[in-house]
Chains A and B, each alone.
Chain A
Amino acid sequence: MKYKILKAIDVSGLTFLAPIVRLATGEEPDVQIRAIMQMIVVPIVAFAVFVGLWSQLAPRHKTKSGEVPTPAVVWDAAQGIWTFHAREGDKETAYVLAGEQRESALMAAKDRLAEIDPLTELADRQVADAEQEKSAQVAELTAPLRTKLAVVSERYGADQAARKARWMERADRTAVSDTDARLALLGAWNEHDLRTREEREELKNLRAEIDTVGAQAFPALSAAQKAQTAIAEERQFLRKRIEVLTAYNRNEKARAGEQQLADLRSKYLQADGGAAMAGLAANIARTRTRVESIRESNYARPYTLPMQILRSLLCVFVGFLLGSLIAIPIGILCGLSPTFMAAMMPFIALFKPVSPIVWLPIALIVVGGFIPDPDDHWLINGFAGLPLVGWMKINPAFLASAITVALCSMWATMVNTALGVASIDDDHTNVARMLRLSARERLFRIVLPSALPLIFAGLRISLSVGWMVLIAAELLSSSEGIGKYVWDMFNNGASDSFAKMFVVVFVVGSIGLALDRIMIVFQRLVSFDGAPTAI
């Protein structure tokens, strides 16, 4: 049992779990604890230190597009993204609900709304209280400053008036011929002016000091405001949900349409004269079409980040599959025939370093050429008909992104496959010759298995390259996905956009990591010279 677990851990590459299993079975505790310290505790501590530094340093750095978000803000943004996604999902289901289900959902929504209405008031009150408290506290804190300000400003006002009066008095007494005295007075005015400005500056600083106290973060108030916003958002959502469950509901709208249709029909049956009948007939036909289209309609759901992540994953997978389907056969041919290799070499060398930014427009044009009308093309329709991925609305931009991924990522697989096939052990070739294996058997029983570990090493590189390329490709092609999300966030500039981009950093990183780990597992499963057996 223990060895099965350890073996599974070894194959999956999650070796940091092994000491825990060993410790649980009481095997050399001191060795295992040292291993756990090194493999688990140290990384966790390092990450904690990073988060700590981040939350300390982030508020000190302000940019034009807002503050650098702290970890807490990023976490809130992540939750916000999820709530938005969940609520859109609720609306989508609400749109198609019918009969009793709709009734009960409606009841629930109304109940909840009734429940939170008082909460709204409470939250409003809390915010008001907090604000009051804050202003009281601010007033208290700033009272001495303000008194000082009042005193000082009064004194300065008086001083200035007195200085000016004195000057006027001297000026009045100065004769026209007394040039020296007049020039001296000019100097005195300048002096007065300078003094006045200094005094104003001092007053300004005092005011600024008061403002700073007022602008200090006030946790109770921001918490109350957050609660208020949350409730307001939920209330808005519930109202919208009720709307979707009633007037906007697909079945309700259809029923209304049916009603209208019935009315029209009876009017038509009663109608007099060709002109009136024709008008009504046309109206009936129009309404019927409308009702039918309502019946088939779906909630126009906006793309949320989780959906965009799934779409990105599908896109990278399609691109990766496409690339592998091209790369592996070509790689095998290259490995088998040096002539073919020589023929392919210039292409590989030439196309490998080309950036995705260059491939993407070309791919867009080519896809556009093949699919002139995206609404009516077998490929697009074929994708739309697939289960699980049909909702993703595969479009030419998606295909162009996938093709870009394929074009950028396939080289590693191709080169590794060629190398794997070409470097087959002479011993194994001799065995095949001695047994007189047929060409097919030789390929599938000797050549491919021996090349598999290298092929998988190539696939692993391809997949991680593809994932990096994909984000850029989506950003450029506006194919709904993580890249597009980042671009939208960059462009919309809402207060939490910056935090949401940070969320994306972690999402992209974790998915890349997961993909790589999966490929490592595959690679270890096919590698015959067997790390997995090494227990």
Chain B
Amino acid sequence: MAYLELAKVSKGFGPPSQRTAVLADVELAVDENEFVAILGFSGSGKSTLVGILAGLIDPDEGDVMLANKVVVDPGPERGVMFQNYSLLPWLTVEGNIALAVRKVMPGLSRVERAEYVQRYVDMVNLTGSEAKCPDELSGGMRQRASLARTLAMRPNVLLLDEPLSALDALTRANLQDEIVRIWEEDKRTVVMITNDVDEAALMADRIIVLTPGPRATLGPSFDVDLPRPRDRAGLNRDRRFQALRKRITGYMLNFTKTQAGDEARSRRRMPAIEPRVFEAA
């Protein structure tokens, strides 16, 4: 039985006369403790999708169901981690996490809370930087702090909105491993939005493509039948990975064709004028 479900969800923006349907008839079913990656591209409504899952945006039609109950408002059982970190710049790492903890577990004493926060700081390998403010941290460290804050709320569902796309490749790889490690230690349902096929294949149990908007909807779902733990370097030579990647890329090529196909090639010739030669400055 699916744990997190979207049933016939649609969402549009703008006045009725020129309404742009961003999402149309989105159906999603995620099992408990499953790691699903949604492969989305710019302008395909992926942020809207996360907003709807998190309860921050109300869908025009359809419902969000969590454990067979319809949920409407945002709640601590669904933790969201955003691409832009969304840390409060005037609070330290510890303060940012403590703020969330205070909200979710108001009964904790000061000492208990400090211990609790410390546990999550350690979990994301930020030990030693608890007292730093976000502007003293690198992008990767900020994203770690953001992850710790989200995890500290002990959500049943973790929603990751392109958590790593603002980071450089090296940091990105580190954090990918980190997130998978934490997920394996402490299983929960994860929905991650990404636009990187490799990232999705490395981390997820299942990859679903969000078709480019308008009227974006979820396309076919590709099961990632690769054994865990997955080895980043070895993966590339794995036949199953190669087949999966070909299938996904092949599916994506359909979009590039339909989108780029109408670019009629120019019948013109490039004008035969020669550029002037600049003398060395």
> A residues bordering B, Cβ < 8 Å?
22, 27-28, 31, 436
Shortest CB distance A1–B (Å): 13
CB distance from A415 to the nearest CB of B (A): 27
In the bound complex, do residue B278 and residue A28 qualify as a contact, i.e. CB atoms below 8 Å apart?
Answer: no
Output the nearest chain B residue to A32 by Cβ-Cβ distance.
B15
**Complex Cα gap A28–B17 (Å):** 9
Which residues of chain A are within 8 angstroms of B15 by Cβ–Cβ distance? 22, 27-28, 31
B234 at the interface (CB under 8 A from A): no
Segment 12-69 of B: residues with Cβ below 8 Å from A: 15-17
Closest to A22 in B: B15
| B278 proximity list for chain A (CB < 8 A) | 436
- Which residues on the B side are within 8 Å of A436 (C-beta)? 278, 281
Alpha-carbon gap, A27 to B18, bound state (A): 10
Alpha-carbon separation in the docked complex, A436 to B280 (Å): 11
Contacts of B17 in A (CB 8 A): 27
- Residues of A with C-beta under 8 A to B281: 436
Q: Name A27's closest neighbour in chain B (CB-CB).
A: B15
Cα A22 to Cα B281 with chains together (Å): 58
Minimum Cβ distance to chain A for residue B281 (Å) = 8
Query: What B residues does A27 contact at CB under 8 A?
Result: 15-17
Smallest beta-carbon distance B275→chain A, Å: 11
> Which B residues touch A28, using CB under 8 A?
15-16
The CA of A27 and the CA of B17, in the complex, are separated in Å by 7
A28 CA / B15 CA spacing, docked (Å): 7
For the complex, give the distance between the alpha carbons of A27 and B15 in Å.
7
Main secondary structure of the interface of B (DSSP, over half): loop
Q: A27-B15, A28-B15 are in contact. List 7 more A-B contacts (CB 8 A).
A: A22-B15, A27-B16, A27-B17, A28-B16, A31-B15, A436-B278, A436-B281
Residue of B whose beta carbon sits closest to that of A535 = B18
Main secondary structure of the interface of A (DSSP, over half): loop
Residues of chain B touching chain A, judged by Cβ–Cβ distance below 8 Å, are 15-17, 278, 281
Assembly CA distance A31 to B16 (angstroms): 12
Nearest-neighbor residue (CB-CB) of B17 within chain A: A27
B14 to chain A, nearest CB (A): 10
A31 to chain B, nearest CB (A): 8
A-B contact pairs, 9 of them (CB 8 A): A22-B15, A27-B15, A27-B16, A27-B17, A28-B15, A28-B16, A31-B15, A436-B278, A436-B281
CA distance A22 to B15 in the complex (A): 10
A31 to B15, CA, bound (A): 10
Query: What are the nearest 6 A-B pairs in CB distance?
Result: A27-B15, A28-B15, A436-B278, A27-B17, A28-B16, A27-B16
Closest B residue by C-beta to A3: B18
CA distance A22 to B278 in the complex (A): 56
In angstroms, how far is the closest chain B Cβ from the Cβ of A15? Answer: 16
Bound-state CA distance A28–B278 (Å) is: 60
CA separation between A144 and B17, bound complex, in Å? Answer: 76
Output the residue of B17, B278, B281 with the most chain A CB within 10 A.
B17
A368 to chain B, nearest CB (A): 53
What's the Cα separation between A436 and B278 when bound, in Å? 8
Q: How far is the CA of A303 from the CA of B274 in the complex (A)?
A: 68
Residues of A within 8 A of B16 (CB): 27-28
Could you tell me the distance between the alpha carbons of A170 and B35 in the complex, rounded to whole angstroms? 123
Give every chain B residue within 8 A of A22 (Cβ-Cβ): 15
Closest beta carbon of chain B to A481's beta carbon, Å: 48
Give A180 to B30 CA distance when docked, in angstroms: 120
* Smallest Cβ-Cβ distance to A31: which chain B residue: B15
Nearest CB of chain B from residue A3's CB, rounded to whole Å: 9
- Chain A residue with the shortest CB-CB distance to B276: A436
Q: Looking at the assembled complex, report how far the CB atom of A259 sits from the nearest CB atom of chain B, in whole angstroms.
A: 79
Q: How far is the CA of A31 from the CA of B278 in the complex (A)?
A: 60
- For B15, B16, B278, the residue with the greatest tally of chain A CB atoms inside 10 Å of its CB is B15
Nearest B residue to A25 via CB reads: B17
By beta carbon, the residue of chain A nearest B281 is A436
A436 to B279, CA, bound (A): 11
Q: How far is the CB of B274 from chain A (nearest CB, A)?
A: 16
| Nearest CB in chain A: distance from B151 CB, A | 38
- Complex Cα spacing A28 to B281, Å: 62
Docked pose: A316 CA to B94 CA in angstroms: 57
Contacts of A31 in B (CB 8 A): 15
A204 to B123, CA, bound (A): 95
Q: For residue A463, give the distance in angstroms from its CB to the closest CB of chain B.
A: 36
CB of A366, distance to nearest CB on chain B (Å): 47
Tell me the complex Cα distance, A31–B14, Å.
12
- Cα-based distance from A27 to B16 in the complex (angstroms): 8
CB closest residue in chain A, given B16: A28
Q: Give the shortest distance, in Å, between A122 (CB) and chain B (any CB).
A: 62
A28 and B16 alpha carbons, distance in the complex (Å): 7
A28 to B14, CA, bound (A): 10
Smallest CB-CB separation from B278: which chain A residue? A436
Q: How far is the CA of A272 from the CA of B62 in the complex (A)?
A: 120
Bound complex: CA A27 to CA B19 (Å): 12
Whole-angstrom distance between the Cβ of B20 and the nearest chain A Cβ: 13
Cα distance, A22 to B14, chains bound together (Å)? 13
The distance in angstroms between the C-alpha atoms of A223 and B127, with both chains bound, is 86
A28: nearest chain-B partner, CB-CB = B15
- Bound Cα distance A436, B16 (Å): 50
Chain A min CB distance to B64 (Å): 25
Nearest chain A CB to B135 CB, angstrom units: 21
Q: Name the distance in Å between B223's Cβ and chain A's nearest Cβ.
A: 43
B16 vs chain A, min Cβ distance (A): 7
CA distance A335 to B281 in the complex (A): 24
How far is A31 from B17 in the complex, measured between Cα atoms in Å?
14
Q: How far is the CA of A531 from the CA of B16 in the complex (A)?
A: 23
Say how far B13's CB is from chain A's closest CB, in angstroms.
13
Tell me, in angstroms, the Cα distance from A161 to B17 when the chains sit together. Answer: 97
What CA separation (Å) do A464 and B281 show in the bound complex? 47
A28 to B13, CA, bound (A): 13
Q: How near does chain A come to B222, taking the closest CB pair, in angstroms?
A: 39
Write the nearest CB–CB distance from B255 to chain A, whole angstroms. Answer: 28
CB distance from A273 to the nearest CB of B (A): 93
Inter-chain CA distance A107–B185, complex, in Å, is 107
CB distance from B221 to the nearest CB of A (A): 37
Shortest beta-carbon distance from A36 to chain B in Å: 15
A22 to B18: give the CA distance in the assembly, Å: 13
**Cα–Cα, bound, A27→B278 (Å):** 58
Shortest B220–chain A CB gap in Å is 37
Closest chain-A Cβ to B278's Cβ sits at a distance in Å of 6
A251 to B43, CA, bound (A): 79
Distance (whole angstroms) from the CB of B17 to the closest CB of chain A: 6
Name the distance in Å between B19's Cβ and chain A's nearest Cβ.
Answer: 11
Measured in the bound complex, the distance between the Cα atoms of B193 and A293 in whole Å is: 89
Complex CA gap A437/B107 in Å reads: 66
Shortest beta-carbon distance from A77 to chain B in Å: 47
Q: How far is the CA of A187 from the CA of B16 in the complex (A)?
A: 98
A436 and B275 alpha carbons, distance in the complex (Å): 13
A38 vs B281: C-alpha distance in the bound complex, in angstroms?
A: 61
- Give Cα distance in the complex from A436 to B17, angstroms: 49
A489 to B: closest C-beta gap in Å:
52
